[in-house]
A and B are shown apart, each in its own frame.
Chain A
C-alpha cells in the first residue's frame, strides 16, 4: 500500500476550528489532487496542483486551502468557512504534465466536525 499516504485516518474537530489533512507521495508524480466524497456521491475535485508552488481551484474550493511547497506533499486545510466539512477526503496523484494518466489514491481521511 505504499506510494501515497494520508494521515490521520479519522479526524474529529469542533465547529469553527481549522484542520489540516496531510497527503504525501513518493511516486515522483507531478500532479496531485484533493477530492471530497459524500455518501452515495462521486468524487468532487477541491484543488489540484500540476507543479510545485502552483495549484488551481477545483469545482468545490470554497472553504478550503492548499499549499504545494514540496513535490511530495500537498496538505489540505479545511477552514471554518466550509459550511459542511464532514466528509471522506481523498488525496490522489498522477504523472501529470503530458496527457491524462492513472490517478493513484491515498487511503483517505474521514473528517467529522461537530
Chain B
C-alpha cells in the first residue's frame, strides 16, 4: 500500500546551522505535502505545505522542496534556534483526496 518514509529519525545540529529532513512517498497521485511540528506533549501544528504544481516554497527560515519525478520532498530549516527542537512529521495526500499518509517523524535536537 501507500507509504511515506522519513529520514533521519533523529537529527542533532548546532544552533545556527541548517537542518534538512527528507521524505519519500509511493503514491504517484499524491498532490499535497504538509510538514507538521510537534513539541513534547502538544498537538502537531502545520508549519509549511506544498502542492504538486510547485517545486519550492519558503516561509522565513523554513523551506520545502518537492521533486515529483523522484517522489521525494524535503524540509529545510536555516539558522536553527533552540525553539526549533521538536518532532517533525511529513505527510502526503492519499491520491488527490483529503486523507494523509504520515511519515514516522524526525526528532530534531538543537545543541547550544
Q: Is B truly associated with A?
A: yes
Per-position 1/0 for A95-107, Cβ under 8 A of B: 1110111110111
Query: Cβ of B43 and Cβ of A43 under 8 Å apart?
Result: no
Query: Cβ of B98 and Cβ of A31 under 8 Å apart?
Result: yes
Query: Cβ of B105 and Cβ of A100 under 8 Å apart?
Result: no
Number of A-B contacts (CB under 8 A): 53
Chain A interface helix/strand/loop/mixed = loop
Q: Which residue of A lies closest to B98 (CB)?
A: A100
Q: Which of A45, A97, A106 has the most CB of B within 10 A?
A: A45
Q: What are the residues of chain A within 8 A of B44 when measuring CB–CB? A: 43, 90, 105
> Quick check: is A86 within 8 A (CB to CB) of the other chain?
no
Chain B interface residue count, CB cutoff 8 Å, equals 22
In the complex with contacts A96-B98, A99-B96, A100-B96, A42-B43 CB distance below 8 A: no
A100 to B101, CA, bound (A): 12
A48 to B99, CA, bound (A): 9
A99 to B34, CA, bound (A): 13
In the complex, what's the smallest C-beta–C-beta distance from A110 to chain B, in angstroms? 9
Per-position 1/0 for B83-105, Cβ under 8 A of A: 00000010001001111101111
- Say which residue of B9, B43, B89, B100 sits within 8 Å of A100 (CB atoms): B100
In the complex with contacts A100-B93, A105-B45, A42-B103 CB distance below 8 A: yes
Query: Cβ of B43 and Cβ of A45 under 8 Å apart?
Result: no
In the complex, what's the smallest C-beta–C-beta distance from B53 to chain A, in angstroms? 12
**Chain A, range 71-114, C-beta contacts under 8 Å to B:** 90, 94-97, 99-103, 105-108
Q: What are the residues of chain A within 8 A of B54 when measuring CB–CB? A: none
Q: What are the residues of chain B within 8 A of A40 when measuring CB–CB? A: 9, 104-105
A-B contacts, 10 of them at CB < 8 A, read: A31-B98, A42-B89, A45-B99, A50-B98, A90-B44, A96-B98, A99-B32, A100-B32, A102-B46, A103-B46
New A-B contacts (5) at CB < 8 Å, excluding given A42-B105, A100-B96: A41-B105, A45-B99, A99-B96, A103-B46, A108-B43
A contacts, CB < 8 Å to B: 31, 40-45, 48, 50, 90, 94-97, 99-103, 105-108
A-B pairs with the 8 shortest C-beta distances? Answer: A100-B32, A105-B43, A100-B93, A42-B102, A42-B104, A43-B102, A100-B98, A102-B46
